[in-house]
Amino acid sequence: MSILKSINSPVDLKRVSPDQLPALSQEIREQIISAVSSVGGHLASNLGVVELTVALHYLLDTPSDKIVWDTSNQSYTHKLLTGRRERFHTLRQYGGLSGFCKREESEYDAFNAGHAGTGVSAAFGLVEAREQLRQKNKIICVVGDGAMTAGMTLEGLHHAGGMGKDFLVILNDNQMSISKNVGAISAYLSRTITGEFYGRMREETGQLLGKIPHIGSDMQKLARRAEELAKGVILPGLLFEELGFQYSGPIDGHNFEHLLPTIENVLRMKGPVLLHVITKKGLGYEPAMKNPVWFHACPPFVRETGVPAKKAVRPSYTAMAMDALVKLAREDKRIVAITAAMCEGTGLTGFEKEFPDRLYDVGIAEQHAVTFAAGLAAEGVKPVVAMYATFLQRAYDQVVHDVATQNLPVVFLIDRGGLVAEDGTTHHGAFDYAYLRHVPNMVVMAPKDENELQHMIKTSVDHDGPISVRYPRGVSLGVPMDDAPKALPIGKGELLKDGTDVAIIAIGVSVWQSHQAAERLSQEGISTAVVNARFAKPLDQDLITEVARRVRYVVTVEEGCKMGGFGSAVLETLSEARVTNVTTKVLGLPDWYIEQGPQDLLRERYGLTAEGIYQSVKDLVSGAVTTENRFTGVASDGHLPHGDEQGS
């Protein structure tokens, strides 16, 4: 009989005998593998944290006691144990369970997170709130998936360690973030062990032991085992003890005989405590253990083989962007690439293979990545920072203060611009047009297709100042490719189709949908022009105002937030040029956080498909009124912005 099916809350879990917990963990793994193979998701990290999650809910009094999951993409077991088992098959689907923790979804989710490194700071905020409110509950933060490479984690540990309040941080150490961990912290132990004093002592001791008759070789082996013990037990604690934490561990994170008594003990300890737990990413599913990078965040796959369920019919925009960058790097040895623990995600593995000494993976440290790039650029190197749009938000001040104020030639390749589907609220690239276009010296581009993308990357590496190229998640359009990338004139758009009634001015992935809508409108007697803006900054003011003066309606289209985005830039241009003869409409994402769901479904929901653009123009021309209440956050169809009525 299934143990998991009897658990609808942690109260039920506590009725399970300790000797049944391994069997329960196996059931949980089966459930996770089954769901993720069907819908995609974060598999490897979740398989590695099963026993730890079970042990925490077994011993804690949640939701009164609170668990903060850093990044929270490792919270699938947590969801299964906290009343969401029956809906687990809806994971990451439109209207279904989020792939991350979400306070709106469950009282057991103490804090929302989708970016690594926020956990310790958030959890310590809960600790101090507990103290202010004179409460007695326990606060636990599970830090894993490489968050120790994030500077914010160290800031949080530094603050918490100095305050002396009861607080348990669990380091879920699986030796990986998304890509292989890099940097000084991951090298801390090996560096200490190989220090000059220790090296000399080890050599002299080994020589001495080797001279002991009969047992010398055995003593040397014993000394080596003692060395490993020191490396694994004594030295890690030094870092955390210096930060004010009592260190415990490391312990086997898959052995309940170790986990339960140890966690029980550290929960009784006073002050800040760090428990070091060793886990194996992908445990229980052989393909994920062999390739934890691919199974970190994977699409649906064939469970029996671990291969993707569907093969892409065309290369992704990411792949096309990196192909262009590699071609340019062959010609220009000054080009280097920078990633923040996302080498595979941003497609830089090919660049790394061909130019290993010109690829810098700085770990989960976006702020450092940008300022590091500024330093490189200041000395004549051509740094290219490849980063998801949602992660570049974390380095906004560095873009402004360290790059743009000095007009340094740093290239930002902004992947996952726009709607990114199932990862949802924290991962949609909705804001980059808005947060970059108002930065002085910054050039902001987005291509209509993959051929224009390669030309924009050439434009960016040739430009003598800060510049960004934004491209979407997903497969490319399959357009013919020019033989070689060539630079585009900065700030010049193109008129794809002329017209006298309506002008649709679009940018990026929205251009081809706009062109399809315009063709249909023209067939129905509404003469429609289409402008591919190419640049959100600087805008092609001459082209836009010229087209606007000969039509009655101007509609802008972007896959980004309407407030302060590309459409706002066009309206500002029309205002400055005193173009007063037109009625305008801005199409884009509304002023709320967009829910998870397939890209096509979300584009349809927010009117960014060819059909949606066509209908918006028809309504505008016919004088039809559409409503949208920004103040209450309720759209004209009556749906709540987060899809909360569906528990998304």
Angstrom distance (rounded) from CA 150 to CA 116: 7
CB count within 10 Å of CB 9 equals 14
Angstrom distance (rounded) from CA 479 to CA 315: 11
Q: Which of 51, 352, 366, 450 is catalytic?
A: 366
Closest residue by Cα to residue 153 from 274, 246, 253: 274
Angstrom distance (rounded) from CA 222 to CA 242: 30
Catalytic: 227? no
Angstrom distance (rounded) from CA 645 to CA 532: 37
Q: Name the strand (E) or helix (H) holding 587.
A: strand 583-589
Catalytic: 165? no
Between the alpha carbon of residue 130 and those of residues 44, 65, 142, 152, 364, the distances in Å are 34, 11, 18, 22, 30
In sign, the C-alpha dihedral spanning 527, 533, 536, 542 is negative
Q: Which of 66, 102, 281, 473 is catalytic?
A: 281
Query: Would you give the distance in Å from CA 440 to the centre of its chain?
Result: 27
Angle, to 10 degrees, between the axis of helix 317-331 and the axis of helix 450-462? Answer: 40
Q: For residue 407, which phi and psi values (nearest 5 degrees)?
A: 55, 45
Please give the single-letter amino acid code of residue 167: F
Pick left, alpha or beta for residue 83 (phi over 0 → left; psi -120 to 50 → alpha; otherwise beta): left
* Contacts of residue 1, Cβ cutoff 8 Å, sequence gap at least 6: none
* Contacts of residue 593, Cβ cutoff 8 Å, sequence gap at least 6: 425, 428, 641, 642
Angstrom distance (rounded) from CA 537 to CA 437: 6
Q: For residue 151, which phi and psi values (nearest 5 degrees)?
A: -60, -30
Catalytic: 270? no
DSSP letters spanning 94-140: TTS--SS--TTT-TT--S---STT-HHHHHHHHHHHHHHTT----EE
Closest residue by Cα to residue 454 from 482, 424, 489, 423: 482
Between the alpha carbon of residue 77 and those of residues 35, 101, 103, 361, 632, the distances in Å are 12, 11, 16, 30, 35
Residue 360 bridge partners (DSSP): 338
- The SS3 call for residue 39 is helix
Q: Are 243 and 157 in contact (CB under 8 A)?
A: yes
Q: Which of 138, 394, 437, 534 is catalytic?
A: 394
Closest residue by Cα to residue 112 from 425, 416, 394: 425
The H helix count followed by the E strand count for the chain is: 25, 19
For 326, half-sphere exposure in the C-beta direction (CA atoms, 13 angstrom radius) is 16
DSSP letters spanning 406-418: GT---EEEEES-B
List the catalytic residues.
Answer: 281, 366, 394
